[in-house]
Structures are given as C-alpha cells and as structure tokens.
Structure 1
Amino acid sequence: MRLYETNYAKLVRLMPKRDEVGQVCRYDIQGQEYALVVRESTRYTTLLDIAQLGKGQAPDYLRANLTVRLYHDARVAEVCTTQQISRLKPRYDYPNPRMHQRNEKHQVNAFLSDWLAHCLRRGVTASDSVYKSSLN
C-alpha cells in the first residue's frame, strides 16, 4: 500500500493546478514530452491520463501511456490501465494467455513511481507558473 500512497503524494505535486476535466499539464523532461490530462474529477477521485508525446521518437508500444486513478479520501493513486492492458488485475495466474507477470499491477505502479521520481528530481513541480518546462 505504501507504493500507492507515495505515488499519490508525487502525482499531486505534478498535477494541473485546477482539478477540472480537460485540464492539461505538459512537461518536457530531457527531450521527452509528457502530458497529464484530467479525464474525470469527482469529490473523492480524479482520473488522469499520462501520455508520452512526440510521434516518431519511439514506437507506440514503447511510449508511456497510463491511466491513473487518485483516491483523495484515502490519499492513494493506482494505475488502472496501461499500454494494451485495459484493466489490471491485482494478481495473475502464470502462465496466462497474455503472458502477464504474476505481479504485473505492482510492476506498473512501481514504474509510475520511478517515472514520477524522475520528474520531481528534474525540478518539475505543480507550482511552476508555466505548463511546459524545459529541463535540459
């Protein structure tokens, strides 16, 4: 559970200033452009799309593309979908038809944690006055 709590704390610092549907924050981190888009916002939850932009830089299957739900009452964030996985199960039997790892959901949330830490190390914070920051 600690992973989900730290992801929440990191994401809150990077989110758009207003938690309204359609709000976008764009970041340029060492030549890689990312966008955080608020897709759904309710009193207790927010659904964010996190996407690596920039056509032609990498094949689609290598670009980060996550949907993350933030639970404000519990202060946790979890990845709901990623790449071609439309719903992440807590645990998978192995082997399985799609060859997901047993702990696929944990691995994806750990990736999100590493990515958020990278963003924060590079000086990107929600307090920046501009939506796009160049951090080269």
Structure 2
Amino acid sequence: MALITPINTSLCLEQLCASNFQKLLQLIPDLAAIKNAAVGVAPRHANLHLTVIDHSPYTLTVELNHCFSQHLDGLLAPALRIRIYMDAQLAEVLSDNDRASVARTFPDASQSREIMHYKWRLNYFLQKWLDHCLGKNYRFTS
C-alpha cells in the first residue's frame, strides 16, 4: 500500500477521489452507460473487467480487476470495489481483494484517524493503478 501519508488526509483524500473519478472517465468514457459489464483490452496485457454491482440515480458501484487467465474463473486481481458518485464527481474505493471494507476493518467509528488513513491508502492505490492502465492505452467496450 501507499508509503505516502499526507498531513491533511481529509482534504487530500477528497482531491484524490476527484482525480480518480476523472481518470476513470478517461479510461472508460461511457462509464455511466454501462449496465452490467465491460471489458478493457490493451495489446499484450491482461484484460480489465468492469462489473456493475449497483446502479442508482446518483451513484454507481463497480468492481474493476485484471483477469490473468483466458477464462473468467481465472485469477481476478486486484478486484477493487469502487463507489462512483456521479453528481459529486468522486470515485472512492470501498474494498479490494486483499483488504476488507472500512466498516468491517474499523467497526468503531471513533477511530476516525485510522479510517481516514485506511481510505487514503486504498484510493492512492487506485490512482496509481489507473495511471498504469491509462499508460497502457486500455480501451473499453460494453
């Protein structure tokens, strides 16, 4: 996970989520129109799979992962579950295949500093992964 911890984690986390929203739209221009699933391809790289988990008027919850096999039952990683706030233009990681959701990890809401740092690390990873995917020129089709 991220080695960088900002001084003002709350402000930086909001900016990071806004940046991740923009990067997701660059990577998947028709994101709001995808109903069930889409696949991103790039020459000589593992396919990216996007699965819509939940769709409401203002939010979209998706799972994004690489498929390291010819079959969908192959290794899917990092399996990031992302909530996308279309109206606020933010994308927030809820969990990934190695780390549980914030609510399961921190059942006591009074641990706000730890919760903020946990969210920061999840979303910082998404930023770096999206940069990698954009650099490899993935293209999505629904």
Normalising by structure 2, report the TM-score. Answer: 0.66
Could you tell me whether the CA contact under 8 Å between 1:16 and 1:36 is conserved in 2? Answer: no
Task: Give the conservation status (yes or no) of the 8 Å contact 2:37–2:51.
Answer: yes
1:103 and 2:110 equivalent? Answer: no
Instruction: Give the aligned CA root-mean-square deviation in angstroms.
Output: 3.2
Report if aligned partners of 2:82, 2:92 keep a CA contact under 8 Å in 1.
yes
Read off the aligned partner of 1:124 and give its amino acid letter: Y
Segments of 5+ residues of structure 1 without an aligned counterpart are 93-99
Give the paired residue count. 117
Q: SS in structure 2 opposite 1:80? A: strand
Aligned to 1:49: 63
- 1: distance between equivalents of 2:69 and 2:119? 27
Structure 2: 5+ residue runs without aligned partners? 1-13, 107-113
Which residue of 1 is the match for residue 95 of structure 2? 81
| Residue 10 of structure 1: aligned partner | 23
Matched with 1:114 is 128
Residue 31 of structure 1: which of 45, 53, 70 is its match?
45
Which protein is richer in helix relative to its size? 2
Give the drift of 1:86.
Answer: 3.2
Runs of at least 4 residues off by over 4 Å: none
The two structures have a TM-score, normalised by structure 1, of: 0.69
